[in-house]
Chain A
């Protein structure tokens, strides 16, 4: 009983929970900035910790956020304004609790972890809309509306892509999904679903070319315009924490999770390395693309990516019928 609690706490706070998440965010933002700088023939962050190539820059920024006064304008809806950024981070962190890091090893062990994860991740855009509404600012309001528009467009794609894999593996348990990939990883069995999932994730986490909600050039910072100090830090953290969560999920569903290892010290490490690789791939698009227009992005998601997701669903269904299920003992 006691050891079970300690185990849950460790899994929730260290890996795949918030602890590893925060460290990964620090590293990933640094990597993103360094990579972009390299493409753009710059040096990138270097001033803080020169010997470590500026990797501590984000830590310094975070400390600065902590010591800055979070200004709460008089006209905002206080409860919503203060709760939204914290809620956004907490929801993503809570979603992480359901993801297994090794066979049967999750902070909240359940057979329905895939559904629980997706349900919680589907709620994460709501705090943004609350923030935009509560800020009493036109730019925030427009940003929140953009998030609402995008949300109804990328969410079905994520669900359809994962549904395709659920049909293929015949289970909603992520642990068994990983085991089902022993022979062929999901990304090879159904590459269409992997592609549509990644595109939708980029829209969900505000990555270029889908960074429409942030929209600096039109709406300053979108829903986050009025935020300062650590509250702004939370809003920044939110997108990257979501990216982290979605990347771990991608690793579990498409990249074979902890395989080939199954035992303790190695299995979580493999999950982590694969997830970081996925994140690293997604952050590189910043240096290639500019921002899509909102209506173009919606058109892309509804008219191209969603039909592709449905095609992935059909592919899974036909594979399952032909193969008689993917799991050997399903």
Chain B
């Protein structure tokens, strides 16, 4: 440590790549670091290297999952991304269904997809809000969070919970769509489309915002593929890849075209998310139009209910589960299932070796795959670009740490 008289600290870390660097610790107790620490090495105002120090919210979710019965894993794992809880548990439930040999009824598949898209919109709005307040654009922050509330209300009316819905279960969904929700969803879609135009005016085409975002943190398509980046960050670089293209859940029926950008800079990443909100709205409209009638939970479980309870399930549109449902015992085997969460591809590996609990649950989350961008993008940029890059990656630490 080198002390230049009283009061000044100049900790020389030594030379790095020929530069004398100053080390700045941003986080974990920092207004804009999230649950992580960024070790930034600066040469003057220019970033030499960034070392993302993750793991502050590691909750041993994979290990905990081995100690729980199958159904009880869902509420556990959806807490790793509570703002996107339906998307992150859908592949897990599908994996369980594969091992159990249960086929969810078509209506429940549509309802799942509907909630996934509602989640995606809410999650993108969350990312947009956090991202804009990192640039100190408080209006966009408040607008995005205020409008996110619309979609949370829709989710609440569908599932009963704002965030941790635990809506999808092996065999179907917990509740049928309530009456009148269809019209309200359409109203919400129209409202959102109107608001997106205003977002465009105050944020995307704001000259100050543009100067902060465009040309900053450019990620080339080839490099994005090399690094294994997923989600909107990948598509903003011009790579046409989205797990929804494989047509899981009801995406195959609806027909889906991914939103692909070209520039690969911060502005493009945020623009891709906003375009994805539009795409999600059109998917929601398609789902509502084509939604089939019928049961919302697999007959295999509902017929185990006593007749009186079964009638209540049919009348009220909400499932009453038989007690044995906790003790599901799938066949032995290994399954890998993927899905497209709001932040990108999420992959589950589920291994069952008898018993009521899984032998192994492995989950690779999109944020865990995108965190490498913190190391890749900022070097060479100014310190003030770091929040802009953070904002555009839409990184969610609890999701990466699990």
Verify if A303 is at the interface (C-beta below 8 Å from B): no
**For residue A287, which residues in chain B have a CB less than 8 angstroms away from its CB?**
138-139
Tier of interface size on chain A? 35 or more
Contact across chains for B383 and A218 when beta carbons are under 8 A apart:
yes
Partner of A41, one of B45, B132, B143: B143
Chain A residues with CB under 8 A of B138: 36, 40, 286-287
Which residue in B32, B133, B136 is a CB contact (below 8 Å) of A208? B136
Residues of A within 8 A of B383 (CB): 142, 218-219
- State whether A290 and B146 are in contact (beta carbons under 8 Å apart), knowing that A77-B7, A217-B32 are contacts in the complex: no
Residue of A nearest to B207 (CB): A289
* A295 is an interface residue with CB less than 8 A from chain B: yes
- Give the Cβ gap from A219 to chain B, nearest Cβ, in Å: 8
The yes or no answer to B137 lying at the interface (CB within 8 A) is yes
Chain B residues contacting A138 (CB-CB under 8 Å) are 9, 22, 24
- Separation of A216 and B211 alpha carbons in the complex (Å): 19
Of chain A, the residue at the smallest CB distance from B383 is A218
CB atoms of A218 and B45 under 8 A apart: no
Chain A residues, CB < 8 A from B206: 288-290
Q: Which of B24, B140, B141, B385 contacts A293 (CB 8 A)?
A: B385
CB-based nearest A residue for B33 = A217
Cα distance, A133 to B6, chains bound together (Å): 9
Query: Within 8 Å of chain B (Cβ to Cβ): is A291?
Result: yes
Q: Is B312 an interface residue (CB 8 A)?
A: no
Q: Which chain A residues border B384 with CB–CB below 8 Å?
A: 212, 215, 218, 291, 293-294
Q: Mark A112-154, 1 if CB is under 8 A from B, else 0.
A: 0000000000000000000001111111011000000000000
Contact with A along B116-156 (1 / 0, CB 8 A): 00000000000000001111111111110010000000000
Given contacts A217-B31, A289-B206, A294-B382, contact A137 B136 (CB under 8 A): no
Are B7 and A216 interface neighbours, CB within 8 A? no
**Does chain B have a CB within 8 A of A220?**
yes
Determine if A209 is an interface residue (Cβ-Cβ < 8 Å). yes
Count chain B CB atoms within 10 A of each CB in A40, A142, A216, A290 and give the residue with the most.
A290
Contact with B136, one of A36, A76, A290, A294 (Cβ below 8 angstroms):
A290
Contact with A along B253-278 (1 / 0, CB 8 A): 00000000000000000000000000
B8 lies within 8 A of A295 (CB)? no
Is B211 within 8 A of A293, CB to CB?
yes
Residue in A closest to B4 when the chains form the complex, CB atoms: A133
Q: List chain B residues, Cβ under 8 A from A134.
A: 7
A323 in the interface (beta carbon within 8 A):
no
Contact B32 A136 (CB under 8 A): no
Residues of A within 8 A of B6 (CB): 77
Given contact pairs A290-B135, A293-B382, A80 touches B7 in the complex (Cβ within 8 A)? yes
Determine whether the beta carbon of A39 is less than 8 Å from that of B208.
no
Chain A residues numbered 30-44 whose CB sits less than 8 Å from any CB in chain B: 36, 39-42
Chain B, interface size category, equals: 35 or more
In the complex, the answer to whether B209 meets A290 with C-beta atoms within 8 Å is yes
A40 to B134, Cβ gap below 8 A? no
B residues near A42, Cβ cutoff 8 Å? 142, 146
A51 contacts the other chain (CB 8 A): no
Contact with B along A25-65 (1 / 0, CB 8 A): 00000000000100111100000000000000000000000
Q: Kindly state the separation between the CA atoms of A76 and B6 in the bound complex, as whole angstroms.
A: 7
- Tell me whether A209 and B208 are in contact (CB under 8 A): yes
Point out the residues of chain B lying under 8 angstroms from A137, CB to CB. 9
Chain A residue, CB-CB nearest to B134: A217
> Are B132 and A294 closer than 8 Å at their CB atoms?
no
Interface residues in B318-356 by Cβ distance below 8 A to A read none
Distance, CA A289 to CA B202, complexed state (A) = 8
**Cβ contact within 8 Å between A288 and B202:** yes
Bound together, the chains give a CA A294 to CA B132 distance in angstroms of 17
Whether the Cβ atoms of A296 and B211 lie closer than 8 Å is: yes
User: Which A residue's beta carbon lies closest to that of B384?
Assistant: A293
Question: Is A292 on the interface with B (CB-CB < 8 A)?
Answer: yes
A289 near B137: Cβ-Cβ < 8 Å = yes
Give the chain A neighbours of B22 by CB distance below 8 A: 138
Instruction: For the complex formed, measure the closest distance between the CB of B298 and the CB atoms of chain A, giving whole angstroms.
Output: 43
Q: Are B30 and A220 in contact (CB under 8 A)?
A: yes
Residues of A within 8 A of B8 (CB): 133, 136, 141
Chain A residues with Cβ below 8 Å from B30 are 220
Of residues 19 to 47 in B, which have CB atoms within 8 Å of A's CB atoms? 22, 24, 26, 30-32, 45
A216 CB, min distance to chain B CBs, angstroms: 5
CB closest residue in chain B, given A295: B382
Contacts of B373 in A (CB 8 A): none
Interface status of A155 (Cβ within 8 A of chain B):
no
Cβ contacts A to B, 24 pairs, < 8 Å: A40-B138, A40-B139, A41-B146, A76-B7, A80-B7, A133-B7, A139-B24, A142-B24, A215-B384, A217-B133, A217-B135, A218-B384, A218-B387, A286-B138, A288-B206, A290-B132, A290-B135, A290-B136, A290-B206, A291-B135, A291-B208, A291-B212, A293-B212, A296-B211
> Which 4 pairs of residues, A with B, have the shortest CB-CB distance?
A77-B7, A40-B142, A290-B137, A290-B135
Residues of B with Cβ closer than 8 Å to A? 6-9, 22, 24, 26, 30-32, 45, 132-143, 146, 202, 206, 208-209, 211-212, 382-387
Apart from A39-B139, A142-B24, A291-B384, what 10 extra A-B contacts exist at CB < 8 Å?
A41-B143, A75-B7, A75-B9, A141-B9, A208-B136, A217-B136, A219-B383, A290-B206, A292-B208, A296-B211
